[in-house]
Chain A
Amino acid sequence: MFPLRSLILCVCVLLAGCGERAWNDPYPGDPRVANTLYTSFRDPPKHLDPARSYAANEWIFISQIYEPPLQYHYLKRPHQLMPALSASMPTVRPLSASGYEVWGDVKPAQTVYEIRIPKGVRYQPHPAFADNGSVDDLLDPARLLAQPDRELIAEDLVYQIKRLAHPALASPIYGLMSEYITGLGAYRDTLEAAWAKQGRAGWLDLRQFPLAGAEVVDRYTLRIHIDGSYPQFIYWLATPFFAPIPWEADRFYARPGMAERNLSLDTHPIGSGPYLLLESDPNRRITLARNPNWHGETYPVAGPPDLLADAGKALPFIDRAVYTLEKESIPYWGKFLQGWYDHSGISSDSFDSAVAIGASGDVQVTEAMQAKGIKLQTETESSIFYLGFNWLDPVVGGDAESARLLRRALAIAVDYEEFIAIFRNGRGIAAQGPLAPGIAGYREGEAGINPMTHEWVDGHPQRRALAEARELLAQAGYADGVDPLTGKPLLLYLDAAASSGPDSKAMLDWWRKQIAKLGLRLVVRDTDYNRFQDKMRKGQAQLFQWGWNADYPDPENFLFLFYGPNGKAAHGGENAANYANPEFDALFERMKDLPNGDDRQAVIDRMVGILREDVPWLFGFHPVEFRLNHAWLYNVKPNLIARNTLKYQRVDAEARAAATGAWNRPVLWPLSGLLIGLLVLVAPGWWALRQRERRVGVEEA
């Protein structure tokens, strides 16, 4: 028995070595009490370069690191723009072709945005600014903070606009911006020639090539020229695409050996925002730390009273933010409950345990969560998930009356309220039209319901009865769902970019059930996402499931999804349904340039009305984001248009250390149970062996 005893001794020694720290503390290297935010990310970011990054999982990082000219107010809803880097809101001047300012209904030939930045703003420390900064200066956190910096000037903003056209960067918004920013298309050709000449490698100094649409007025002022007018451009100035980049960054990362070590702006940004990237391992964890050079800002003084405790105080509050890669939902949720993550989005499957709908329909966390001090925040996303009909399809698409009736029947039959209940646990609202709540032009209440699919009953929208859908289907010529041509149920094809995710089977089953309610049959063709995109591009789908996430809070960003000239199959635009309606297109062109107000609302109402009658989409739902925060995290307000929220948040590290310590005492008795069980098993064996040895001994003797 001696080895067992020494084993127990060993274990005890090891445990003693653990000290105060919980056994399951996933941050063994960090001090127990530190002004640090712990959170997670699910998908490793591919691009942190603000010219290329166009995904939410990347913007949660770079929005803290880069600072574009504008930002959205943290607390106000509907969203409101305010200056971030720029000293004030940019001045906008519509000009005629001869350069004079124009007013009223006159179509301007160009629009000029003038942005002024304050003096003395500095970049984060970075070896790119040193004469011969080394890789170690970049990778060693202590050395990184000791690196030089430099002042931010207007030319850096121009430099980044030029980068949007860089052939090697393939910026996702280059296509869009080249339609608006004066000379950006031609600039691409210039760069392409120069890039090819230097062998498509190395550093292309964009400062040598002037861009007509982005002009440096003085050290702290720049002007951006837009062809014609594009009122929505101002929203783009609040995205990382227009954040300043120092030319030294490109020079630094173009050095030989950098790419081989995965060092580039995609992994190690150089920004001027409140945080800088301290450690970057997208496969493991990403650490941000307070940027010592940030120009500073104060917490907003207007907003909901419960979020104003820190009003007027200097930002940021948190020193460090640790993002850990967490791909599986079981560990993710488990760690949140144990207190190792400060906040959590809720996956649908943990919802019941976390949230209860109160007697009056208000949402609150359950008692078990309240006991832990967990708080809930909700916000409707500016997104829509929908089922599109391909306008080019002979059965479901186009202007024919039978196809329209079929679509309208489906619009009633597909019960998105049930979808939300099952797959999103109520975290969504059924869409009555394309516009998400909080967007100008969205109508609330009875005025906002879709009369084709819903009725207003007892102060709530209620889906119309299935009988009405059957009636419409019969009018369309498919009585009981039977296709008169074949005598069999009409077959419909749904293209879905189904992941192999655990939920996808259930979701496909649900879709079949919906269509079967009308007696139709649905064949789901789930493909991987790029096949799906390819199909969409060629206009080969019949029904398809997709979503849209707004870039900025303006109705134009939703309604352009139906604009004929944006047709995906014909023009490669974002109108995936290939919907085309001349009346709608004309209204869209008017609406685009109108300022928010009654005029615009009237046009939008008409446009939404047309869409409801034509049904190019089944308006699915607008997701609602629920976020749970532990009691020690303050000033949290989900914001899905802007992601630069880290600087406003505050943690109470003492409270967290106390809570995680109390919640994570190891449970040991099952282990001793296991040990006893093993002994019970081994003991008779031991005894049997002794018996046999004795017997063998006897036999041999």
Chain B
Amino acid sequence: MGAYLIRRLLYAIPILIGVNLLTFALFFLVNSPDDMARAHLGNKRVTAEAVEAWKRERGYNRPLLYNAGRDGIERVTDTLFFTKSIRLFVFDFGQADSGRAIADDIRQRAPPSLALAVPTFVIGLLLNVTLALGIVLFRASVLDWLGQIGLVALMSVSSLFYIIAGQYLFGKLMRLAPISGYVDGWEAWRFLVLPIAVGVIAGIGAGVRWYRSLFLEEIGKDYVRTARAKGLGEAQVLVGHVLRNALIPILTGAVVLLPLLFLGSLIMESFFGIPGLGSYTIEGIQAQDFAIVRAMVFLGAVLYILGLLLTDIAYTLVDPRVRL
């Protein structure tokens, strides 16, 4: 087990290097440091000298990959690639192009992101599994058919529309919750109710369908027939046997998503004014603050790989045969 995990961890390194190379290539092909400087210096009275000064202070005045003007190891280390990309490996995110320290911003913004993403995820999971069980209970009936159509319909609505409609109905017309905003501490629940509800509803369509097919697959198996033969009621069969056996794929499927919850929800956060990592990323994209986007890409990749790792562990724990 230990050796297996270490091997998986080692495997993550070339992937992170690949991610880094890719983002580096993308970002420095996109925008020359001159562009970044101008973008951040504002509109008025931007002189060439100011651009140079900005680049120097942000460390963008280095060559891309190889610094011929230096000696020894500095030829490689005193370059944009080394200072801006390699340092990410030790989670040294450095400064955003706007001048703020990225690590501090990430620390500040992770809690609101989690406060939104975790409840949405958990409530969504419970609700979807419950609904899926309900629909499976009525399988091959009119209710099942109606439910299917309803789910496909729910799936076919753009997530933007859920947000816009939710905000308009519950925030503006019914005045049940603040339209947007966030505060720290327990009072945050007032601000979170609406986005969580919208997030859960937006996820019902795809989620329930997924769990439904999962349950249907389980129902075809032998043990269900045995259970039925014992004279158990349909509901008991479903909850007692099908659900219990389906828990393994449900949980392993959920585990891979857990780390990504850190990143928050991109559009949900920026619509509801929740100062999390999702809106941070969007702002980074819209302001073309590449230091932020680069850091978030790297963080996202790390979390994704962490998710894969957790899934592996979950599998080995659940199914001893996989243990290597």
Contact = CB atoms under 8 A, between A and B. Distances in A.
Interface string B260-300: 00000000001111010000100100101000000000000
B178 A26 contact: yes
Given A24-B179, A170-B53, A283-B109, A330 B134 contact: no
B234 A328 contact: no
B137 to A, nearest CB: 6
B141 interface: yes
Contact of B176 (A24, A167, A175): A24
Contacts of A696: 234
Nearest to A172: B45
Contacts of A55: 42-43
Interface stretch (A210-218, A259-267, A373-381, A456-464): A259-267
A531 B175 contact: no
B81 interface: no
Contacts, number: 172
A664 B175 contact: yes
Contacts of B172: 330, 334
B88 to A, nearest CB: 16
Interface string B125-139: 000000000100110
Interface string A278-309: 00010110000000000000000000000000
A534 B35 contact: yes
Nearest to B45: A172
Contacts of B104: 260-262
Interface in A453-502: 500
A14 B212 CA distance: 34
A685 to B, nearest CB: 5
Contacts of B177: 23-24
Interface residues of B, number: 70
A668 B35 CA distance: 52
Nearest to B181: A26
Instruction: Name B's interface SS.
Output: helix
Given A261-B104, A325-B273, A667 B45 contact: no
A500 B237 CA distance: 54
Contact of A665 (B46, B175, B275): B175
A175 B175 contact: no
A330 B167 contact: yes
A531 B134 CA distance: 56
B173 interface: yes
A46 B283 CA distance: 13
B53 A284 contact: no
B40 A176 contact: no
B101 interface: yes
A176 B45 contact: yes
Interface string B46-89: 11111001101100000000000000000000000000000000
B98 A667 contact: no
A689 B142 CA distance: 12
Contact of B105 (A25, A262, A325, A549): A262
Interface string B23-41: 0000000010011101111
B180 A335 contact: yes
A546 B187 CA distance: 44
A233 to B, nearest CB: 15
Contacts of A668: 174
Interface string A301-342: 000000000000000000000001111101100110010100
Given A168-B57, A327-B273, A689-B137, A533 B38 contact: yes
Given A23-B177, A328-B180, A574-B45, A534 B38 contact: yes
Nearest to A44: B283
B108 interface: yes
24 contacts: A23-B190, A24-B176, A29-B183, A46-B99, A55-B42, A167-B56, A172-B50, A176-B45, A262-B100, A267-B100, A281-B108, A283-B108, A326-B273, A328-B273, A330-B172, A331-B271, A331-B273, A528-B39, A530-B39, A531-B35, A551-B44, A574-B45, A671-B176, A688-B138
Interface of A: 22-29, 44, 46-47, 54-55, 167-168, 170, 172-176, 200, 259-262, 266-267, 281, 283-284, 324-328, 330-331, 334-335, 338, 340, 500, 528-531, 533-534, 549, 551, 572, 574, 664-668, 670-671, 684-685, 688-689, 692-693, 696, 700
